[in-house]
């Protein structure tokens, strides 16, 4: 593809891909635009979307949290365990949120204070989390920990969408506001791009990194709470499979809106591009394993179509 | 002559790094190339090694053993022509053995299935013996002394007897910079050994004293021109220093057109105010020790511009970092505005106490290249600008006006897209916006074009007039004569001289002498 410079077109290649997919899909099969199809498509991506928000914050701070998938699974299992032991529904949801926050803070602590690279820290902590979630109930799933009245609340559609969809949208807006329009967000980017310059500019780099990890964990906790709230069940296998799609979405974000930066608008567009692509593939009768092929092709294709300076996040 | 280079001109945007310079290097002689920072020394090395290219229309000619080329197009061609270079950074890899490092660069001999480790060791031993390096091939590079490390780098560049016969010139590009003074002799003896093999050696160095003892010929560069080239025996240190001094005096001609607003106006907009003039020192240190600093005592008053000079080993690199809280203090007192600073300092604490540092090494420590200009300028003080787009706009417009940052209306442009001079002016703006009590500038004019340089000096004078205490470290020390009222000279981590305007000791020659020798 011809390299396009400094035009709206080049800043939003991904958005054009999304538009082409939607229009092309709608021509091929009008049910793509069917409200019930759209609703189920978005609902299916909520967990990945929420986790991508978390990951974007973490990556903007120059770190990577590969324990996010395990963190989700563990938060769900721990909260279900509390429910199994008789905790009230409110406590169960709170436990999901707190478990994520706690693990996020733990990751941040290890990265900042003990100065271990974040990929190693989160790989290690992720494995530990996975073990914990297995050990919660002897590697058996925990089901029906919430009464039907509670899960019903989580299944009440508001303006046609489930509460988890609205939660995801709210998180996207909050994260956008925080990263782009608050001093803390500016500090996150400064620390992510050049910890050295940020440190010399008097920014408390360690605190910024620690808070980014903690926030990341808290957002995963929200995803966990909605997960258990909606189903009342906790499956041991939930979690790890969300990591790769989530990473794909975040990496795609650097090709859009703010080229060369992990950014929330980019994450949002990327999430929907991948969702629509998978949805159309599904309608065309592609098998389930096709999702990852589509993810991979879009990731590589869009990155290649962009100029060289947007193929990876900038450094320094 | 084994190698001659004629009519070499290299132009960068706004700067002529080399200006029709001619060089000649003879077999078996050590040729020192001297010059202040920015005089064109490293440009020359880069032209000879195929990294930079001489301007097309300047009629450049490089002759190596009778073979003439117009331009060395690539490092590969430079190598094919027999040009060998040892850079400042050692090519050795930590936690590898000496033999392995050598094999990495020379290729691993294999028998098709595995590496022949015996051959690797033998080759390494051969090199080490040839160059009289008293180190075992098994030694881990971590355990080598700086001199050994550099000698091995040299041996690797030259190769064994067979390969060294193809060497037409050996270039040592500040290769001695990391060697402590005590080991320099040993290293230079090895350089002499290489020259005795009949190879011309080109040394670029800042260690004037030691090198003069060993070299045969000297070329002095000043502002991209060759101002002396000839035998060392004909000249002395004073002569060299006098030739290294820059002739143009930008500080005195610094009558830059007045900006329509001043730094004090910006402070008013941001609600900041400088203390009035005061005879009491605003920053003072007593018997300060840290890495490379062995007991420094001085003080600076508000509104004063204090210069600090010294050769690179004297502690001038460390002192600005210590003052900015970026390097730990070992002992001594550090007082800012009457308040004693704690021992465990951070840049944040110094910033809060009113001490700002403009660091050297702009791309790594000065600004964030992939953030916008606006984000860089407002970085230390983002809270004040939260949710105030009007204030952001006004601050940016005024900063760009005061510091003449070009092009205007570019606050959303990525920092990396600006020229060096504009970046440096923006970093000055970043710190001066916060209305510091003390502003420490570490080499503010490094890699900055002349017009920006003038603007930087003007801004420094303005800030001093507004009662900011300024401490300037410079590698272009002649500038300080026109700017400072007082200059401290460092040597071996101590203050050894104080040059004052008031008693007539502050002139360019004496400043240059302390810096270059």
B348 and A202: CB-CB below 8 Å? yes
User: What is the distance between the alpha carbons of residues A232 and A150, in angstroms, rounded to a whole number?
Assistant: 9
B364 and A196: CB-CB below 8 Å? yes
Nearest chain B residue (CA) to A312: B370
pLDDT at residue B164 in the model: 82
Q: How many residues does chain B have?
A: 517
User: What is the distance between the alpha carbons of residues A220 and B444, in angstroms, rounded to a whole number?
Assistant: 46
Tell me if chain B has a CB within 8 Å of the CB of A200. Answer: yes
Q: Work out the minimum CA distance from B381 to partner chain A, whole angstroms.
A: 9
**ipTM metric:** 0.81
In what order do the strands lie in the sheet containing B486-491?
B355-358, B438-442, B469-473, B305-309, B486-491, B494-500
Q: What is the dihedral of CA A215, A217, A222, A225, to 10 degrees?
A: -150
A contacts of B359 (beta carbons < 8 Å)? 200
Tell me if chain B has a CB within 8 Å of the CB of A198. Answer: yes
For chain A, the domains span 8-307
Instruction: State the DSSP string of A188-213.
Output: HHHHHH-HHHHHHTT--HHHHHHHHH
Return the minimum-mean-pLDDT range out of A293-302, A307-316, B31-40, B280-289.
Answer: A307-316
B35, β-bridge pairs: none
What pLDDT tens digit does each residue of chain B (517 aa) get? 688 999 999 887 767 888 888 999 988 899 999 887 778 888 899 899 988 888 888 888 899 888 888 888 888 899 888 899 988 777 788 888 898 888 888 878 888 788 888 888 999 999 999 888 889 999 988 888 888 888 898 888 888 888 888 888 999 988 877 777 778 888 888 888 888 888 899 998 877 777 778 889 999 988 888 999 988 888 888 888 888 877 665 554 555 566 778 888 999 999 888 877 677 899 999 999 998 899 999 999 999 999 999 887 888 889 999 999 999 999 999 999 989 998 889 999 999 999 999 998 888 889 999 899 999 999 998 888 888 899 999 999 999 999 988 888 888 888 988 888 899 999 999 999 999 999 999 989 887 877 788 889 889 999 999 999 999 998 777 778 888 989 999 988 999 999 988 887 888 878 888 877 7
Place of tokens 């179509």: A305
B387 and A189: CB-CB below 8 Å? no
Residue B497: both structure tokens together: 């001289």
Neighbours of B129 (CB within 10 A): 12
Q: B263-276+300-328+343-487+494-516 sits in which CATH class?
A: alpha beta
Tell me if chain B has a CB within 8 Å of the CB of A6. Answer: no
Q: Is the pLDDT of residue A205 over 70?
A: yes
Instruction: State the DSSP string of B126-162.
Output: HHHHHTT----TTSBGGGS-HHHHHHHHHHHHH-SHH
Neighbours of A38 (CB within 10 A): 17
The residues, ordered by sequence, that sit 6+ positions from B89 with a Cβ below 8 Å of its Cβ are none
Closest partner residue to A199 (CB to CB) among B347, B385, B386 is B347
User: What is the distance between the alpha carbons of residues A56 and A261, in angstroms, rounded to a whole number?
Assistant: 10
- CB distance A114 to A128 below 8 Å: no
**Nearest CA to A25 among A246, A260, A192, A272?**
A272
- CB distance B493 to B477 below 8 Å: no
For chain B, the domains span 3-92+144-244, 263-276+300-328+343-487+494-516
* Measured CA angle at A184 (ends A182, A188), to 5 deg: 120
What is the topology classification, in CATH, of domain A8-307? Answer: ABC transporter involved in vitamin B12 uptake, BtuC (1.10.3470)
Place of tokens 């020790």: B289
Residue A266: both structure tokens together: 């980019």
Residue A21: both structure tokens together: 């997919």
Q: Work out the minimum CA distance from A315 to partner chain B, whole angstroms.
A: 7
Neighbours of B473 (CB within 10 A): 25
Q: Work out the minimum CA distance from A243 to partner chain B, whole angstroms.
A: 27
Closest partner residue to B370 (CB to CB) among A183, A193, A198 is A193
- Summarize pLDDT for A52-81 with one digit per residue, the tens: 999 999 999 999 999 999 999 999 999 999
A contacts of B417 (beta carbons < 8 Å)? none
Nearest chain A residue (CA) to B379: A201
Place of tokens 């197009």: B73
**Nearest CA to A240 among A131, A97, A82?**
A131
Q: Does domain B3-92+144-244 have CATH number 3.40.50.300?
A: yes
The residues, ordered by sequence, that sit 6+ positions from A286 with a Cβ below 8 Å of its Cβ are none
**Which residues of B touch chain A, with CB atoms under 8 Å apart?**
324, 326, 346-348, 350-352, 357, 359, 363-371, 375, 378-380, 382-383, 385-387, 430
B34, β-bridge pairs: B220
- CB distance B175 to B127 below 8 Å: no
Closest partner residue to B368 (CB to CB) among A190, A202, A204 is A190
Q: Work out the minimum CA distance from A187 to partner chain B, whole angstroms.
A: 8
For testing contact with chain B, the best of A190, A197, A307 (most B CBs within 10 A): A197
pTM: 0.81
- Summarize pLDDT for A113-148 with one digit per residue, the tens: 888 899 999 999 999 999 999 998 888 999 888 998
Q: Is it true that the peptide bond before A124 is cis, omega within 30 degrees of 0?
A: no
């Amino acid at each position: 593809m011809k390299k396009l410079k400094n035009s709206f077109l080049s800043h939003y290649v991904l958005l054009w891909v999304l538009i082409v997919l939607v229009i092309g899909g709608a021509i091929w099969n009008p049910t793509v635009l069917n409200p019930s199809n759209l609703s189920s498509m978005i609902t299916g991506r909520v967990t990945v979307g929420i986790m991508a928000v978390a990951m974007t914050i973490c990556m903007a701070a120059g770190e990577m949290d590969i324990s996010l998938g395990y963190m989700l699974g563990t938060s769900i299992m721990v909260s279900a365990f509390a429910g199994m032991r008789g905790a009230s529904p409110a406590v169960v949801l709170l436990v999901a949120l707190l478990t994520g926050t706690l693990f996020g803070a733990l990751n941040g602590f290890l990265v900042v204070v003990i100065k271990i690279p974040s990929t190693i820290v989160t790989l290690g902590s992720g494995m530990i989390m996975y073990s914990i979630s297995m050990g919660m109930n002897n590697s058996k799933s925990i089901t029906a920990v919430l009464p039907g009245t509670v899960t019903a609340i989580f299944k009440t559609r508001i303006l046609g969408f489930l509460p988890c969809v609205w939660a995801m949208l709210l998180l996207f807006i909050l994260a956008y506001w925080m990263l782009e329009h608050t001093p803390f967000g500016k500090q996150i980017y400064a620390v992510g791009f050049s910890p050295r310059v940020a440190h010399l500019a008097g920014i408390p780099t360690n605190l910024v990194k620690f808070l980014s990890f903690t926030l990341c964990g808290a957002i995963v906790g929200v995803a966990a709470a909605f997960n258990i709230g909606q189903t009342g069940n906790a499956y041991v296998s939930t979690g790890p499979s969300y990591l790769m799609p989530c990473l794909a979405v975040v990496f795609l974000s650097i090709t859009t809106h703010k080229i060369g930066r992990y950014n929330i608008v980019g994450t949002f567009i990327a999430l929907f591009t991948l969702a629509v692509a998978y949805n159309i593939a599904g309608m065309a009768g592609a098998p389930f394993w096709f999702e990852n092929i589509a993810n991979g092709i879009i990731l590589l294709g869009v990155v290649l179509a962009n100029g060289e300076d947007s193929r990876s996040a900038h450094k320094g | 002559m084994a190698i001659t280079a004629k009519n070499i001109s290299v132009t960068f945007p706004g700067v002529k790094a080399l200006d029709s310079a001619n060089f000649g290097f003879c077999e078996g002689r050590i040729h020192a190339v001297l010059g202040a920072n920015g005089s064109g020394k490293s440009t020359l090395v880069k032209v000879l090694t195929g990294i930079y290219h001489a301007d097309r229309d300047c009629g450049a000619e490089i002759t190596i053993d009778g073979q003439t080329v117009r331009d060395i197009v690539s490092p590969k061609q430079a190598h094919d022509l027999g040009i060998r270079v040892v850079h400042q950074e050692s090519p050795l890899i930590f936690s590898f053995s000496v033999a392995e490092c050598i094999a990495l660069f020379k290729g691993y001999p294999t028998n098709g299935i595995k590496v022949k480790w015996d051959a690797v060791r033998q080759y390494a031993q051969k090199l080490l013996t040839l160059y009289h390096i008293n180190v075992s091939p098994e030694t881990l590079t971590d355990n080598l002394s700086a001199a050994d490390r550099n000698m091995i780098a040299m041996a690797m560049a030259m190769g064994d007897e067979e390969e060294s016969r193809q060497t037409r010139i050996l270039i040592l590009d500040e290769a001695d910079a990391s060697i402590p003074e005590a080991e320099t002799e040993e290293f230079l003896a090895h350089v002499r050994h290489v020259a005795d093999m009949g190879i011309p050696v080109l040394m670029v160095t800042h260690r004037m004293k030691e090198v003069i003892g060993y070299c045969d010929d000297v070329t002095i560069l000043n502002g991209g021109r060759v101002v002396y080239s000839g035998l060392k025996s004909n000249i002395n240190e004073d002569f060299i220093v006098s030739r290294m001094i820059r002739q143009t005096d930008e500080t005195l001609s610094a009558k830059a057109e007045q900006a329509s607003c001043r730094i004090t106006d910006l402070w008013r907009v941001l609600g900041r105010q400088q203390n009035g003039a005061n005879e009491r020192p605003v920053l003072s240190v007593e018997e300060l020790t840290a890495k490379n600093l062995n007991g420094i005592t001085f003080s600076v008053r508000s509104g004063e511009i204090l210069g600090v000079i010294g050769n690179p080993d004297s502690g001038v690199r460390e002192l600005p970092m210590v003052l900015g809280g970026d390097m730990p203090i070992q002992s001594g007192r550090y007082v800012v505005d009457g308040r004693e600073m704690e021992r465990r300092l951070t840049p944040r604490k110094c910033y809060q106490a009113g001490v700002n540092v403009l660091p050297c090494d702009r791309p790594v420590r000065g600004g964030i290249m992939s953030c916008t200009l606006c984000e860089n300028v407002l970085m230390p003080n983002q809270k004040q600008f939260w949710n105030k787009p009007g204030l952001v706009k006004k601050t940016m417009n005024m900063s760009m006006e005061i510091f003449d940052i070009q092009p205007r209306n570019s606050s959303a442009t990525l920092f990396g897209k600006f020229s060096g001079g504009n970046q440096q002016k923006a970093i000055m703006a970043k710190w001066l916006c916060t209305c510091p009590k003390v502003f420490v500038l570490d080499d503010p004019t490094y890699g900055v074009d002349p017009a920006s340089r003038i603007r930087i000096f003007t801004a420094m004078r303005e800030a001093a007039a507004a009662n900011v205490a300024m401490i300037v470290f410079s590698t272009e020390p002649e500038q300080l004569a026109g700017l400072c009222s007082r200059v401290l000279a460092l040597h071996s981590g101590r203050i050894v001289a104080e040059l004052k305007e008031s008693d007539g000791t502050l002139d360019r020659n004496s400043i240059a002498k302390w810096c270059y020798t």
